[in-house]
Structure 1
């Protein structure tokens, strides 16, 4: 369960004083060295402006940091499972390698066993950890205006075709086909629950999804068909706005999202999404509840489909909808994320108004 993070000034003081109460609960990434540490690390304290704080080891790795060799932040998981220690050491030694199940087998491990172990300890598989880290490096290079060849090298792809194929699977087109005049821009940023991709025009947010969601490439292709000009790589103001709001959300400061939205869906689907926006943090509904509230009590399955079609995660809170028996069901970002979001929102329930009062709808 995520706990309420103090602000960065408090965390930096905890780092300076090597406060053991944060050990295993908060980690620091140091941008000047590219490593992440426990707050009790005996190394010399980094400068305040070079510090980025995370709640999980996975978030540090997803942000591109390597584990510190002095304080060994991966030690608990490694001590619990020598296989994890071996694979993480191999990944650290060769982070740009295009890892496959064949490589795992060659190291003497069963891929399914590795998959379960990494999901249990890090909420992502070993191959996802390796792939997302590589692709993120290329994405960031392109977003900052870098050349395709530089992005390819930063992502660790030996061939241009392999790099273009990876991006084509994600965005539906290769970087060489970007005109620079696309109406929508996609950007990547990290959260405590994993990297997310946001797509916006200069005025509204169109998509917000976890980067490892299997349906993301399909959603992006569908979005490109609906909007003239396609999707490029970069960041409009709504993406900046939602990133700041998500920082507040994950820090436990606020669950109010005011970034304007454009919702792509049928009138029925948008009606379901509007109802989701009325569910306050700390509250949940069932699919049957939603069907009844929109005046369609027999349309429970249609409500479930509309809920699953939501492509603006967290802001349109489909994670607050449960099965009829109160069980966690049907969340594209993974049931483990759904549970952590609900847990996080229990700390926000007091005094937080329901978001979504002034949303912009597509014309």
Structure 2
């Protein structure tokens, strides 16, 4: 989402003027209607405060917006293959659907064809598109539902049992057991994009970027493992998390004090503990982490443990790089990894050379 006020005003003027030069440059999310549009959409123009602007369709979908039927923002440029139109229409008929191979056969389109066409036109595969649309519905429920639950609590009603799990429609109900836990979901903005946190009164369970690949499966496994209902709502842990992240991104904090729930295998937890021991501004290679574990041949296993980390930034998997000096992979994307490393390396140093 675009946060720069100058750029937002530029895009809003283009939207009002229906400037064709901006078609494909940005997507405008309209809060009052829940749709996202191209600059040249002929619909009545919303007020400035009712607009959000995105540089990609995926961002708009993850924010919970659906494509406008009047300007068809996903049909840019106009020469969209018929297969793409069929697939977009199919998603809109059932946006919560989780697509399987049989679903493609049913409408007569090969999944590989869908993947290639969407990648060429939108820079994301069809599976990414469908997942973003699906997850955007849950994220929107979190963003809007949080206000309702906060209001309920302020009026003295303490039980959240009357509210639906934000992910029930796309993942089904968690397993029925005698003990059900409540985990609260919150979405907030950072300089690197929106993030979602899952926490209760005691621990932070998950912190991820909304567009992270595999996020849906991470949340699904978490719900099953803890037999949890995930409800919109804030917690003291999340409030502290947002405050500390704001300080971190403005170079005012390099060590976090948030209680983390590290749920993994004994090996994964050992890897994560080593990550937490890497000082901000420094890095280790996958090889060096393996050697600290006592076996230089565990490089691949270390990489897998890194990828299984569900608490971004606070468990700093971004501080692990390839032996040849290249950054290597990162669940939030290599550009974010580069940003975080540069941020930490530029933090102020005390007289003894330690990061503060």
Taking structure 2 as the reference length, the TM-score comes to: 0.66
Structure 1: unaligned runs, 5 residues or longer: 156-162, 359-363
Checking the alignment, whether the CA contact within 8 Å between 1:36 and 1:65 is kept in structure 2 is yes
Computing the radius of gyration over CA atoms, which structure comes out larger, 1 or 2?
A: 2
Distance between the aligned counterparts of 1:316 and 1:51, measured in 2?
Answer: 35
Partner of 2:9: 13
What is the number of residues matched between the two proteins? 323
What SS does the corresponding residue of 2:49 show, helix, strand or coil?
Answer: helix
What SS does the corresponding residue of 1:29 show, helix, strand or coil?
Answer: strand
Distance between the aligned counterparts of 2:52 and 2:247, measured in 1?
Answer: 15
What SS does the corresponding residue of 2:46 show, helix, strand or coil?
Answer: coil
Distance between the aligned counterparts of 1:14 and 1:246, measured in 2?
Answer: 29
The 1:345–1:329 alpha-carbon spacing in structure 2 relative to 1, beyond 3 Å, is closer
Structure 1 segment 16-55 matched on structure 2, within 5 A: 16-18=12-14, 24-39=24-39, 41=41, 43-55=43-55
Distance between the aligned counterparts of 1:56 and 1:255, measured in 2?
Answer: 31
Distance between the aligned counterparts of 1:60 and 1:37, measured in 2?
Answer: 10
Partner of 1:166: 171
Structure 1 segment 256-275 matched on structure 2, within 5 A: 258=256, 260-264=258-262, 268-275=270-277
Distance between the aligned counterparts of 2:78 and 2:313, measured in 1?
Answer: 32
Partner of 2:157: none
Partner of 2:317: 318
Checking the alignment, whether the CA contact within 8 Å between 1:184 and 1:232 is kept in structure 2 is yes
The 1:14–1:325 alpha-carbon spacing in structure 2 relative to 1, beyond 3 Å, is same
Distance between the aligned counterparts of 2:22 and 2:109, measured in 1?
Answer: 34
Checking the alignment, whether the CA contact within 8 Å between 1:54 and 1:192 is kept in structure 2 is no
Distance between the aligned counterparts of 2:246 and 2:71, measured in 1?
Answer: 27
Checking the alignment, whether the CA contact within 8 Å between 1:197 and 1:211 is kept in structure 2 is no
Q: Residue deviations 1:129-181, cap 9 Å, x none?
A: 454345556666765449989859x98xxxxxxx579244xxx446x9886xx
Checking the alignment, whether the CA contact within 8 Å between 1:30 and 1:52 is kept in structure 2 is yes
Checking the alignment, whether the CA contact within 8 Å between 1:77 and 1:85 is kept in structure 2 is no
Q: Residue deviations 1:74-99, cap 9 Å, x none?
A: 23477465432331133335546665
* Equivalent residue for 1:218, pick from 218, 221, 225: 221
The 1:165–1:43 alpha-carbon spacing in structure 2 relative to 1, beyond 3 Å, is closer
Partner of 1:361: none
The Cα shift of 1:116 comes to 4.5
Structure 2: unaligned runs, 5 residues or longer: 153-159, 350-354
Distance between the aligned counterparts of 1:80 and 1:348, measured in 2?
Answer: 41
The Cα shift of 1:55 comes to 2.9
Partner of 2:287: 288
What's the Cα RMSD here?
Answer: 4.8
Checking the alignment, whether the CA contact within 8 Å between 1:186 and 1:198 is kept in structure 2 is yes
The 1:17–1:178 alpha-carbon spacing in structure 2 relative to 1, beyond 3 Å, is farther
Structure 1 segment 119-268 matched on structure 2, within 5 A: 121-122=123-124, 125=127, 126-136=129-139, 144-145=148-149, 151=164, 163=168, 166-168=171-173, 172-173=174-175, 182=181, 184-187=183-186, 197-202=196-201, 204-209=203-208, 210=212, 212-213=214-215, 214-222=217-225, 224=226, 232-233=230-231, 234-240=233-239, 242=241, 258=256, 260-264=258-262, 268=270
